[in-house]
Chain A
Amino acid sequence: MATTNFENMQVIYQHPESLLDKNTHYCPGCTHGVAHRLVAEVLDEMNLRDKTIGVASVGCSVFAYNYFDFDFVEAPHGRAPAMATGVKRVHPDKIVLTYQGDGDLISIGTGEITHAAARGENITVIFINNANYGMTGGQMAPTTLPGQKTTSSPKGRDVEQAGYPIRTSEMLATLDGAGYIVRRSLHDPKHIRQAKKAIRMAFETQVRGLGFSMVELLSTCPTNWHLSPVEATHWLEENMLPFYPLDDFKVHPALKNLNF
């Protein structure tokens, strides 16, 4: 039997330092885990872990601080951008990120996110858009698609009654304080790689002091969509992509020539 020579081997995959080596509480196939990993990898690559402070929101990612290995605070539902503002103003030389779901960010927290962006608050927002309220069991979110069935829109979202979904990135990109706002998706490896680049850009924005940065990540919620993990990625591709186009909505000129 041949013995393996580890010395000549190259590490091509390892656990990011910014992520604790723990099983998460996320459902099987949920892309919250993917998003965590990407953020951690970027912080590792930029060597930022030691100076980062995270702000968790209220949603399935409420326990994000159990997985990320740096300082963390937990905000009331929707208020993470305000809390992050408080942290960042006290520690302007540190890296501050919020990690928020769509219900948290653009329903109850619309005011806070809007004004953080308008102020050009130099923070980075990771925005998980899974078209529903995952944690509370799958109610309608502001991002729920027209006709989409949820536990509080049992006959499908009726836009006449419940109004239209919000395209958050497009909306916030109209604000002058925004330095970097893009939408990406986590439904397949190619898009996941693109998402990682965008997250890198967002933190570069913050490092350079170019204002508010946000990456919207289209994500799956197999549990509340009542789909298998694979079906969920297909559902995202077929239903969310047409409504939420992947694009760069705001890129500060100073970022234009950066490449990773």
Chain B
Amino acid sequence: MQNETVIAGFGGQGVLFVGKVLAHAALEVGMEVTWFPSYGPEMRGGTANCTVIFSNEEIGSPQVLNPTSAIVMNQPSLDKYEDMVVKDGYLIVNTSMTNREVKRKDIHAVCLPATEIAEEIGDKRLTNIVMLAALIKASDFFGQAEMETALKKSLEGKKNDLVAANMIALQKGFEFRA
């Protein structure tokens, strides 16, 4: 079984980083995984997205037309990806940056004010982790312990001092109840 997650938002919202955390989690449980970024000039100020695919077998295409889940961090991303997610897939929406409800009824949608939650923790840059936690909670792809290890791995080295705040963000995302 293969799972494909698209993470999309503005450049600077930590789209690529949170994809990396998800990839680390998949690696943690011994799966195959591919992290595929949109790259190049469009990253300057524009939109950014990445696709994380994990599977028990060799992964084919690093990008898919219809992902099994999507984390959308802003309005343009919601508009673009809501229709793309497969039936019964997951759509995690940042209501702090979107201005409409999810229309589809045949997917699992989790809508949460992720930026506000992140700001309460003290740093709106944690929006991405709050949203990832919400996806993991809804989908049960991985356990919370695996996510914590993945988060630490992703922050290894230069970003070590950010671990504590990120852990809180993860916790808040898991705790969120609509």
Binding site for B on A (CB under 8 A): 25, 27, 223
Say yes or no: is B60 at the interface (Cβ < 8 Å to chain A): no
CB-defined A-B contacts under 8 Å, sample of 4: A25-B41, A25-B44, A27-B44, A223-B44
Chief secondary structure at chain A's binding surface: loop
> Could you tell me which residues of chain B, from 28 to 76, have a CB within 8 Å of some CB in chain A?
41, 44
User: What is the count of residue pairs linking A and B with beta-carbon distances less than 8 angstroms?
Assistant: 4
Which residues of chain B come closer than 8 Å to A223, judged between CB atoms? 44
Which residues of chain A come closer than 8 Å to B41, judged between CB atoms? 25
Interchain nearest-CB distance for B165 vs A (Å) = 22
> Could you tell me which residues of chain B, from 1 to 53, have a CB within 8 Å of some CB in chain A?
41, 44
Interchain nearest-CB distance for B11 vs A (Å) = 12
Q: Report the bound CA distance from A223 to B12 in whole Å.
A: 13
Interchain nearest-CB distance for B81 vs A (Å) = 25
Which residues of chain B come closer than 8 Å to A27, judged between CB atoms? 44
CB nearest neighbor in A for B44: A27
Which residues of chain A come closer than 8 Å to B44, judged between CB atoms? 25, 27, 223
Which residues of chain B come closer than 8 Å to A25, judged between CB atoms? 41, 44
CB nearest neighbor in A for B43: A137
Q: Report the bound CA distance from A163 to B37 in whole Å.
A: 35
CB nearest neighbor in A for B46: A25
Q: Report the bound CA distance from A25 to B44 in whole Å.
A: 9
Interchain nearest-CB distance for A65 vs B (Å) = 16
Q: Report the bound CA distance from A27 to B43 in whole Å.
A: 12
Q: Report the bound CA distance from A223 to B11 in whole Å.
A: 14
Interchain nearest-CB distance for A56 vs B (Å) = 15
Q: Report the bound CA distance from A147 to B44 in whole Å.
A: 27
Q: Report the bound CA distance from A25 to B41 in whole Å.
A: 9
Interchain nearest-CB distance for B44 vs A (Å) = 7
Q: Report the bound CA distance from A122 to B41 in whole Å.
A: 34
Interchain nearest-CB distance for A111 vs B (Å) = 28
Interchain nearest-CB distance for A168 vs B (Å) = 26
Q: Report the bound CA distance from A223 to B41 in whole Å.
A: 13
Q: Report the bound CA distance from A25 to B43 in whole Å.
A: 12
Interchain nearest-CB distance for A133 vs B (Å) = 14
Interchain nearest-CB distance for A118 vs B (Å) = 35
Q: Report the bound CA distance from A27 to B41 in whole Å.
A: 11
Q: Report the bound CA distance from A223 to B45 in whole Å.
A: 11
Q: Report the bound CA distance from A27 to B44 in whole Å.
A: 8
Interchain nearest-CB distance for B46 vs A (Å) = 10
